[in-house]
A and B are shown apart, each in its own frame.
Chain A
Amino acid sequence: MKVLIPTPLRQYTGRQSTVELEAGSVDEALCELTTRYPELRKQLFTAEGELRKFVNVYVNDEDIRYLERERTLVKPTDTISIIPSVAGGSVAARRGF
C-alpha cells in the first residue's frame, strides 16, 4: 500500500513523497513507516505514543477518526495520507528564518 508524505515531513523520509509498504492496518503502516524513518516518530506521535492532534491520517479520503482510528484495516490498494496542519503563507515565507 501507499503512504503519501506531505512536504513538511519529507525532510524525515529522505525527500520521498510516497512510501510503499505492506500493512494490514493503519497502526501497522505507521509503525513500519516510523521504523523505516525513526525521525518521523517524534513528528507524528507524542511521547505517550498518541497520534498528535495536529496530524490527521486519512485512508483514501476518509479521516481515521471517523473509522476505527489506528485500528482501521487497510487493503493493499488503499492509500494513507498524512495531513499535518501547516501555517504556510506570506508572512511565514517572508520571515522564513
Chain B
Amino acid sequence: MATLTRAQASALTNDEILRYSRHLIMPEVGMAGQQKLKAARVLCIGAGGLGSPLALYLAAAGVGTLGLVDFDVVDYTNLQRQIIHTTGDVGRPKLDSAAEKLTGINPFINVRKFETRLTSANALDFFRDFDIIADGTDNFPTRYLVNDACVLSGTPNVYASIFRFEGQASVFATENGPCYRCLYPEPPPPGLVPSCAEGGVLGILPGLLGVIQATEVIKLILGTGDPLIGRLLLVDALGMRFRELRLRKNADCPVCGATPTIRELIDYNEFCGIRGEEAPITTTVPEIQPVELKARLDAADDIFILDVREPHEYQICNIGGHLIPLGDLPARMNELDSSREIVAHCRSGVRSAKAVTLLRQAGFGKVKNLAGGILAWSDKVDPTLPKY
C-alpha cells in the first residue's frame, strides 16, 4: 500500500515512539505496523454516531491522514451518542468540532475536512486520495454511492449501520470480497422503510459499532488478523449477542459481478426512489395549522384529536389526543367516529399524514392532518411543550 516515499515519510519521531509505545511493544503492530498506520489514509463518511468513536480511535492509534466528510451542524439531540462533540459545540459545524478533538488527541496526524455532501460528482475524486473508506452514513442513497465508488475505485469499505439496539458491520469491496450490493442489490422503496416510529437508537450502540469499524480499519492497515470480509456481523446490544452470517460475492452483482451493469456512479437519489430518503415527504392530505386548531378548540368546536405516535412518545409530551399508534390504526378504526371531525397528529406530521390517507380510504371524510405535528404545536401554540 505505502510507496517507498510514503514509508520513508512515515518514520516515527521520538515523541511519536513514546506516544505509541503500547503499540510498538506488541509484535502484531511493532515499528513496521505503526509506520503503516502513519502512512495510512482513511476517509470517514460522517462525523456522527458511528464516526465519533471511529475517528477518535483512529486518531489516537496514529492513522496518519484522517479525512472527514460531513456538512452537518452539531445540535443537542446529537450529544446522546456523538461523543466527539460537546455541549459547547452545539451550533458549530461538525467538521470543525471533530477536527479540533482529533488534533487535540493526536497533533501528529493530518486531518482533512470535506465540508460537503458526498455526491456522485465528488466521491471518486475524494476517494482517490484514501486507502480505506469507513462508511458511517445513515441513508440509502449515500450508502449505495459509497459502495459503488469503493468498488469502482478499488477501495475497501468498512461498513456499519445501526438501528435502535441492533447493529451490523462488515468489510466490503476488497479485492475478492463481496460488496454491499452483493448483499442487497436494491434499497427498499421509500414507503417501506421501517416506520419512523420505530426509529431512535441506544446511545452506546454507535459506540459499539464505530469501535468495531475502527478495529477493522486498523486490521486492514496492518494486514493482520481475520477481517470481516465475507461476513456480516450482527450485534444485538439488548441480548448482548453477536452473530455472523456468511456473505458471498455475487457473480450477478450489478457493480462487482462478472458482467457489471454499473460502470460509473449514477443518480443515487433517483435509484433509491423518487425523492431520496432524506427529503421530506410532501403530502397532499388536507391539513390544519396549529394556530387554527387552537382557535377552534378554544371556541369549543367538536374536534376529535387523534395521536398516532407510540405510547412512549405520548409519555414525553401530548396534547390530550386519543392515542392509536399508526401501526395499530387499521385494526382500531372502530374506536373512531366517522361523523366527527378528526385531526390526526404525530411528532412532525409525516406519520399522521399516512394516518389521514388511511382513514380517508376507509371512508372517514372529515379527517385532517395537524401541519408540522406536535413540534409545530410547540413552536406556534404552546412553547412549554418539550420537543424531542
Contact = CB atoms under 8 A, between A and B. Distances in A.
A93 B245 contact: no
B186 A54 contact: yes
Interface in B249-305: 250, 277-278
Counting chain A residues whose Cβ lies within 8 A of the other chain, the interface size class is: 35 or more
Contacts of B151: none
Given A52-B188, A56-B184, A88-B201, A81 B206 contact: no
Nearest to B52: A90
Interface string B127-149: 00000000011111001000000
Contact of A93 (B140, B183, B187, B200): B200
A19 B19 CA distance: 51
B194 A8 contact: yes
A65 B245 CA distance: 13
Contacts of A93: 49, 138, 199-201
Given A7-B163, A84-B188, A97-B347, A92 B139 contact: yes
Interface string B157-168: 000011111111
Given A92-B199, A97-B199, A62 B138 contact: no
Contact of A91 (B48, B81, B247): B48
Interface stretch (B29-37, B70-78, B378-386): B70-78
Nearest to A84: B188
Given A54-B187, A63-B246, A97-B199, A91 B194 contact: no
B245 A61 contact: yes
B153 interface: no
Contacts, number: 130
B245 A7 contact: no
A87 B200 contact: no
B316 interface: no
Interface residues of B, number: 59
A91 to B, nearest CB: 5
A42 B140 CA distance: 20
A84 B168 CA distance: 11
A97 B350 contact: yes
A interface, by DSSP: helix, strand, loop or mixed?
mixed
Given A7-B163, A7-B164, A8-B163, A87 B138 contact: yes
A66 B351 CA distance: 38
Given A54-B184, A97-B196, A97-B346, A89 B136 contact: yes
Given A7-B163, A52-B192, A92-B277, 10 more contacts: A7-B166, A39-B327, A61-B246, A81-B245, A85-B183, A88-B162, A89-B46, A89-B48, A94-B77, A96-B199
B240 interface: no
Nearest to B194: A8
Q: Please name the 3 residue pairs, one residue from A and one from B, whose CB atoms are nearest each other, closest first.
A: A89-B138, A90-B48, A8-B194
Contacts of B346: 97
A94 B347 CA distance: 12
Contacts of A65: 250
Given A85-B184, A85-B187, A91 B244 contact: no
B198 interface: yes
A53 B140 CA distance: 14
Contacts of A96: 196, 199-200, 347
Interface string A4-33: 001111011000000000000000000000
B184 A88 contact: no
Interface in B192-250: 192-201, 206, 232, 234, 243-248, 250
A86 to B, nearest CB: 4
